[in-house]
Chains A and B, each alone.
Chain A
Amino acid sequence: MNKVNRFAAAAASAVVLACTAGAVMAADIYVIGGKPDDPFWSRVKKGAEDAGIVAAAQGGSVTWLGPQNYDNLGPDAAELIRQAIDQGADAIVGPDWVPEAMDPAFQAVTEAGIPLVIYNAGGLEAADRLGAMNYVGAVDYKSGYAGGAYLAKAGHMNGACVNTLPGAANIEAFCAGFNAGLTENGGTGSVLQLPATAFGDATAVAQAVRAHLLQNPDIDAMFAIGDGDTNATVSGIQQAGKAGQVHVCGMNFNDSILANIQAGTQDFAIDQQGYQQGFFAVSILNNFVNYGVTIPTREILTGPGVIDAANVEQVMAGVKAGAR
């Protein structure tokens, strides 16, 4: 055996060693998400990092990659996906916010043989299209459905969905789900369409709700698509003199909504449970990379979660911990 051969043999065995070490080596997981100072995404980040405690105990790591702002969301997120590949990710988690801009980057992940989980946006459809292992997230239609079904089962049969963003696919899905949840449980549902300029304008929403309730005195249930709209809807009901008669359910929550639920002015809120999205997406990948175990259930739903008077105290404790 001459020197060159001996060197080649040594190098080859080193490569083999490195490879076998790699097979049982820890998982460096990269999570693409929103800005860390976004209230919703800070909960997702906490979930991912809590799952990362296990990854770290096994020698791995969890790295959060978020854009500086949402100005250029699709391309920025696509860049972050490619950056995760460059950083040598063993597994990647990402939301499919803007498919045109982000799908090529996700395809580069699966082509590189890196395990991928889609979460938060895109649904199982995106996961299947991109060759991802799973989808972890809430489904808008089911969130609305849960709201309608809860209200109908409580005996509030005539509901209206306050749509302040007509045309937005996820909002249309909330309202369609809400109406289906009502009708399939014996009630009737309708949609109160507002011009898109009303979104985030509390006065406009409250006035529209008040007028709608005075015109349609039979309505005894309402669904609002976001936390700001929910507060405005509650105010509109009070202005119509219908407090206590019209029951309110809203998407998402904040401190004032929790206080309203405690006080009884709002019946309940639907939560997407962002913490679960980060936690389970990372856990699935960590376990897969380390032990090769999988979750055969496709489409892991993290929502809808219901917050009502029964569990509002527990939710408040979760808020304090930064998980809700």
Chain B
Amino acid sequence: MDVISGLFRRPAAASILSLLGVLSFYVVIGGVDLGKLMGAASWVNYAARIGVVALFVGLLMISGEIDISIGAMIPAGAMTTAILSGYYELPMIVGILGALAMGVIVGLFNGLLVTRTTVPSLIVTLGTLVAMQGIVLAGSKLLTGAASVPLSAPGWAKTVFGDLMFGGNHQVVIVWWIALAVVVWFVMHQTKYGNWIFAIGGDKVSARNAGIPVDWIKIGLFVGTATSAAFVGMCHAILFNSAQVSGGMNDIFNIIVSVVVGGVLLTGGFGSIPGVVIGTVTFAIVTKGIDFTSIDRNWSNLIIGIMLLAAVGMNETFRAKAMSAVRKKKG
């Protein structure tokens, strides 16, 4: 009994239950062939695409900040790679490093602006989001005269960043996602830096008084989100041999929803990396799994919305339970 109740108090418990709920809804109501869904690459590819960024957005949100400029950074990373290595035919490594450098610069900008001013991170990154959309479109038009740039990557770059694995349709970015998840999990839950991030999200002033370098941690987390988004864009450009200008508005919401479904509080101080990973999987199955059901596609957005609300509602209930258990122990 203790084992079960202990399990339910884990931060990831609610997201696991939401995942099971989503799957059973699709199987019972939608008539999904579970074997086919599990074997399909589409939702795993999608989960990896948003999951890489969701890991870092999760860290940032636990620290009490948010970054919505990621939406513009995914196409920005893709376009940087395609313009440098595709249009100007520079070596592939220049395109890859260029995309990552772009992420670091925008991340530093976001981080410095948030820590040096009292402007909320939502507003700061809203500004960089729109500004980056403008830079990408205007820059692409100015440099190449087009809004879509082809790219032919050499074999090694394809193998490392943008290939399909096992002779099937699974993208190599899935491996990156899993590897990064392990690294981020280790930092977050096994080192002092993770505790620092939780402390900053819980109470910034106390954290600073306890000697935690709050500003530097936050700047680092902003660099993490922007760079991971540019990384995903770069992988996409290499895989799909092209990049195009786009707003990326959908990615913002999809990534933040994945993190929230994974049990991270929008106000910070609560969450876990396993939760974020499972939240991402849940969201990917909700959005891509609808194609495997017999439900008319015209309903898909309604069903996605309801299922997400249900998943988040379940999170809230479980968190309340978990917190009440903590209080009882103390009392």
Name A's B-contacting residues (CB within 8 A). Answer: 36-37, 63-66, 68-69, 71-75, 78-80, 82-83, 85-88, 98, 100-101, 104, 108
Contacts and interface: CB of A to CB of B under 8 A. Distances in A.
Interface in B165-193: 168-169
Given A36-B297, A79-B45, A71 B36 contact: no
Which has the most chain A C-beta neighbours within 10 Å: B287, B291, B298? Answer: B291
Contacts of B318: none
B154 to A, nearest CB: 16
A101 B148 CA distance: 11
Q: Chain B contact residues (Cβ within 8 angstroms of A): what range?
A: 20 to 34
B246 interface: yes
Contacts of A87: 36, 40, 291-292
Given A71-B250, A79-B45, A63 B240 contact: no
Given A63-B291, A64-B297, A72 B244 contact: yes
A262 to B, nearest CB: 30
Given A64-B297, A79-B45, A82-B41, A98 B246 contact: no
Contact of B250 (A64, A66, A68, A73): A68
A83 B288 contact: yes
5 contacts: A36-B297, A64-B297, A72-B248, A74-B242, A74-B244
B236 interface: yes
A68 B298 contact: no
Interface in B147-173: 148, 150-151, 168-169
A79 B250 CA distance: 16
Contact of A69 (B148, B241, B250, B288): B250
A299 B132 CA distance: 43
Query: Which 4 pairs of residues, A with B, have the shortest CB-CB distance?
Result: A83-B42, A71-B246, A86-B40, A101-B240
Which has the most chain A C-beta neighbours within 10 Å: B151, B168, B287? Answer: B168
B247 A71 contact: yes
Nearest to A45: B297
A75 B171 CA distance: 12
B249 A71 contact: yes
Contact of A65 (B45, B242, B291): B291
Contacts of B36: 86-88
B272 to A, nearest CB: 28
Contact of A79 (B42, B244, B249): B42
A88 B148 CA distance: 32
Which has the most chain A C-beta neighbours within 10 Å: B46, B250, B287? Answer: B250
B287 A68 contact: yes
A78 B240 contact: yes
B39 interface: yes
Nearest to B236: A75
B241 to A, nearest CB: 4
A66 B300 CA distance: 11
Given A64-B297, A83-B42, 14 more contacts: A63-B291, A65-B291, A69-B250, A71-B247, A71-B248, A72-B236, A72-B244, A72-B246, A83-B40, A83-B291, A86-B42, A87-B292, A88-B36, A101-B240
A100 B291 contact: no
B240 A66 contact: no
A69 B244 CA distance: 14
Nearest to A196: B141
A66 B288 contact: no
Contacts of A101: 240-242
A105 to B, nearest CB: 9
Nearest to A88: B36
Contact of B240 (A65, A68, A100): A100
A83 B46 CA distance: 11
Contacts of B246: 71-72
